[in-house]
Structure 1
Amino acid sequence: MPGFEIFGEEEKKEILEVLDTGVLFRYEFPEQRKGVYKVRTFEEKFAAYCGVKCGQAVTSGTAALKVAMAALGIGPGDEVITQGFTFVATWEAILEIGAIPVFAEVDETLNLDPADLEKKITAETKLIIPVHMMGAPARIEEIKAIGDKHGIPVLEDTAQAAGASLNGRRLGSFGACGTFSFDPVKTMTTGEGGMIVTNDEKLMRDMSEYHDHGHDHAVNPGGRGGEGRSFIGSNYRMMELQGAIGLAQLAKLDGIVASQQQNKKAMKALVARIPGVTFRTILDEKGDNASFLAFFLPDKDKAQKVKTALAAGGAGAICFAENTWHYYPKWEHLLAGATLAKSGWPFVEPGGKKRVVYDAQALPKSAAIMDRLLVYPVPIKLSQERLGQIAAAVEKAVAALS
């Protein structure tokens, strides 16, 4: 699953080229760097890989969401619809930009349910963020059509789906922009880091300047342009070492996906032996980056029995209904409105009025799906020994249901 499984000489070569220049900053120092611009090159190559015009590298997938939302003009008073099954970063970024996350159901794609999305749209809805969870596409064409109908832009959170596509088109390229994460356990990794891709050159210019303290990024390759600033910004710059690793990992991405698809197929064949098992809806099997194998049991009780048996066999599966990082009812800090701000922001407005209250029972359709769900991460390298261990654990699960 994570790109660190195949770190090798390619990453070392790219890193040494940076160290030889002595320049770790992505801008300036043209004489010392001798034409080596790893982050800029990474942006260009990643955008081309996604089939779009522009790429903006940043410090993390979370930063990518914040920078993209800032450039889209999202702020206090705005509502942003996303899904109740995602990593906490999605809604953290919404709250940090000052907007209010509105959570919608998922369907058996384990991604945003278009029908519930449309029900959640109000006059205050200013953005839709579908998340391509666990490497497989959301119903992005339907979601984009809904957004277009209501005049609401779509930002694709593609943090977990680098290398994935739908009907031959890369995920992240359907909406106004798409964001990616390259953290330590992502399909391709730079340790920390993220990327935003878009075809909108004005949006790109705003993101570029916002992520670098609002510096004027006039046309000046490798530099920062003039010193005039159109708006305030912050610091989300990627450093050259991350860009270097990203270039090596990007060159391996198609091979990573191919290996995961092969390994997922082998694992799926074993899991299919479990009585009553069904599998996640994948809209495009060829486009799945295959970083996870998600499967359902007929009910919560059977899912728990299978989970226990698999764990006893040394091949435990993830139960996301119990996961505190990715599932709405388990986000106790969100549900409690917990914050370090003495004012209570972002859950409380200045003056003490509550902005939003979240109910753990608000997504019953998602709960019914998640209660039956078990998931295996799919490695890039899958040994016969590990495959045999999974097979033996599956046999324990079959016995537990008999």
Structure 2
Amino acid sequence: MNKLAIEGGTPARSKPLPPNYPGAVVMGQEEADFASKVILGQSPFRYYSPNPQRAAEQLEDAMSAEMNVPYVLGVTSGTASLIVAMKALGIGYGDKVIVPANTFLATPGAVVCCNAVPVFCDIDDSLNLDPAALEQVYDEDVKAIIVVPILGNPVDMDPVMEFARRKNIAVIEDIAQSCGVKYKGRYGGTIGTIGAFSFQMNKIITAGEGGAVATHDLKLFERALRYHDQGLARHKARYGIDSPDEEFAFVGQNYRMSDITGAVVFEQWKKLPDIVASMRRSHEAIRSELASRFPEMQFRRCPDPDGGHIGSNLGIILPSKEATVKFNQAMAAENMGTYILYAGLPAYRTPAIFHQRTSDKDNFPFNYPFKNPVVYTEDMCPVAIDLIPRTAFLPIAPTLTEQDVEEIIEGTSKVYQALRDQQLVRQ
């Protein structure tokens, strides 16, 4: 093998990998044209305007048709989608919601913003929630489970859904990082009780911000529709809603998607199949060759390896934190930046969550007098504590060329072989 770049050798690549913004790197004239049409029509508000373009409606209809889910609602962000989903379910003060230990802080943060309290479930070697660990964190105050397919890898949904049915609780799918992911042929976000999507800058498709909620349940959808629009239910005929406001209206907030956002995401949605196909193709080529060269190399497990993951990130599990740090440092020098998630810490280690601090009086809603108090300890999810800092993620852009893929294979092999030589990994 050639000398490592970090030790003065020639880097495997002459320039860094494309930025880790899958949707943004394929943005083009299509998004600009539709957004311009909305702007030049002086009609950025979806519900009324001089010349409505119905961009948000077109996005919702396209998502509904492709994912085979009858009700989709555009909202302002992924966080908004989680809040709207939980408010649709009636989750609030005095409730607990199970959240995976490996997720972005927005997931437990949204629970707190709904005046409920997150309880954290450990993960398995998929880096997602471990269904076998659910019983350990469940009690009678739990009203829902949020599952999060991390970085394009599906959650093992069958045992999650079976557990939820036994306990009569809801399942919210937080698909923020994994738009297009599937599990046994069904799109993530359409399997549980309600799905939440994000179109923020880092996401698979993007408008910079934006989100969506999806469900098969009309009553649940009406509550989502009302909550996201100040308690109103506009365009009832579009959804087949006939409930009178006098009887069904309640106080909501403003999480309405603008038609400018709708226009951009609608054009991005059209590109999703090509984005996913490209990422999967590169992911499989890199993973297959690395597995052939290094049979001992451990990759994060995919619960649906025959078609579930979207290939946005290749997860390599190293034997130790030390090995992972050295791997990431060496990969960066080769112009192939890999990274660990969330500073190597579980979500409950976020200071505000761990110390149960909010902007409200008496740290509401953490002050609820639960029969079984919610207490967070540093070591309460041991698998997450072990695996998160040992997993290096290699981002796979949809714009990678065959040469890029070859350089990634050679560069990763060079770095991994060096770790072998240093006995940080073993054959």
TM-score when normalising by structure 1:
0.91
Letter of the structure 1 residue corresponding to residue 46 of structure 2:
R
From 247, 250, 273, give the equivalent of 2:266.
247
Residue 257 (structure 1) aligned with residue 276 (structure 2): yes
> Identity percentage over the alignment?
33
Letter of the structure 2 residue corresponding to residue 9 of structure 1: Q
**Match for 2:175 among 158, 161, 181?**
158
Q: Is the 8 A contact 1:14 1:245 kept in 2?
A: yes
Deviation for aligned residue 1:357: 3.4
Q: Per the alignment, in what secondary structure is the counterpart of residue 80 of structure 1? A: strand
Is the 8 Å Cα contact of residues 175 and 195 (structure 2) preserved in structure 1? yes
Partner amino acid for 2:362?
Answer: S
Code of the aligned partner of 1:200: D
Deviation at 1:387, TM superposition (A): 4.0
Give the whole-Å Cα distance in 2 for the aligned partners of 1:323 and 1:303: 10
Tell me which of 283, 286, 298 is aligned to 1:278. Answer: 298
How many residues are treated as equivalent by the alignment? Answer: 394
Instruction: Tell me whether 267-276 or 115-124 shows the greater mean CA deviation.
Output: 267-276
In 1: Cα distance, 2:115 partner to 2:105 partner: 16
Secondary structure, counterpart of 2:106 in structure 1: helix
Q: Deviations over 1:228-259 (max 9, x none)?
A: 56110000000000000111011110000001
Output one character per residue of 1:178-209: Cα deviation in whole Å (capped at 9) or x when no partner.
Answer: 11000011111121000011110111111111
Q: Which structure is richer in relative contact order (CA contacts within 8 A, separation 6 or more)?
A: 2
Query: Does residue 201 in structure 1 map to residue 218 in structure 2?
Result: yes
Distance 1:66 1:17 in 2: 31
Whether the aligned pair in 1 keeps the contact of 2:348 and 2:376 (CA below 8 Å) is no
Shift of 1:302: 3.1
Residue 270 of structure 1 and its aligned partner are, at CA, apart by: 5.4
Query: Is 2:363 the counterpart of 1:335?
Result: no
Aligned to 2:5: none
Q: Distance in 1 between matches of 2:326 and 2:233?
A: 59
1:309 maps to 2:330: yes
Q: Report what 2:66 is aligned to.
A: 49
1:297 aligns with 2:318: yes
Residues 1:196 and 1:399: Cα distance change in structure 2 (over 3 Å): same
Written as runs of structure 1 = structure 2, the 5 A alignment for 1:69-84 is 69-84=86-101
Amino acid at match of 1:234: Q
Match of 2:80 in 1: 63
Q: Check whether the contact 2:93–2:365 (CA below 8 A) recurs between aligned residues.
A: no
Q: SS in structure 1 opposite 2:170?
A: coil
Q: Secondary structure at the match of 1:154?
A: strand
Query: Hey, what does 1:12 align to over in structure 2?
Result: 32
Judge conservation of contact 1:213–1:232 (CA < 8 Å) in 2: yes
Partner of 2:379: 361
Secondary structure of 1:190 counterpart: coil
**Which residue identity lines up with residue 208 of structure 1 in the other structure?**
L
Indicate how the Cα distance of structure 1 residues 39 and 6 shifts in structure 2: closer, same or farther if over 3 A, else same.
same
Shift of 1:65: 0.5
Q: Tell me the residue number matched to 1:105.
A: 122
SS for the counterpart of 1:5 is helix
Structure 1 CA distance, aligned partners of 2:375 and 2:351? 12
Going from structure 1 to structure 2, the CA distance change for 1:121 and 1:343 (only over 3 Å counts) comes to closer
Q: Distance in 1 between matches of 2:284 and 2:262?
A: 32
CA contact (8 A) 1:293 1:378 kept: yes
Deviates more, 1:341-350 or 1:66-75: 341-350
The 3 A distance-change label for structure 1 pair 270 and 306 is farther
- Matched residue SS, 2:236: coil
- 1:292 maps to a residue whose letter is N
Moved more, 258-267 or 274-283: 274-283
Q: State the partner residue of 1:167.
A: 184
Cα contact 1:346–1:355 (8 A) shared by 2:
no
Residues 172 and 193, structure 2, Cα contact 8 Å, conserved in 1 = yes
Distance 2:54 2:326 in 1: 53
Q: Which moved more, 1:4-13 or 1:64-73?
A: 4-13
From 250, 254, 272, the counterpart of 1:231: 250
Tell me if structure 1 keeps the 8 A contact 2:126–2:302.
Answer: yes
2: CA distance between counterparts of 1:289 and 1:385? 21
Q: Quote how far apart the aligned CAs of 1:401 are.
A: 2.2
- Deviating more after overlay: 237-246 vs 333-342: 333-342
Alpha-carbon distance in 1 for matches of 2:415, 2:169: 49
Q: Tell me if the contact between 2:104 and 2:347 (Cα under 8 Å) persists in the aligned partners.
A: no
Matched AA of 1:290: G
Match of 1:401 in 2: 420
Q: Give the CA RMSD over aligned residues.
A: 2.5
1:382 aligns with 400
The TM-score, its normalising length taken from structure 2, stands at: 0.86
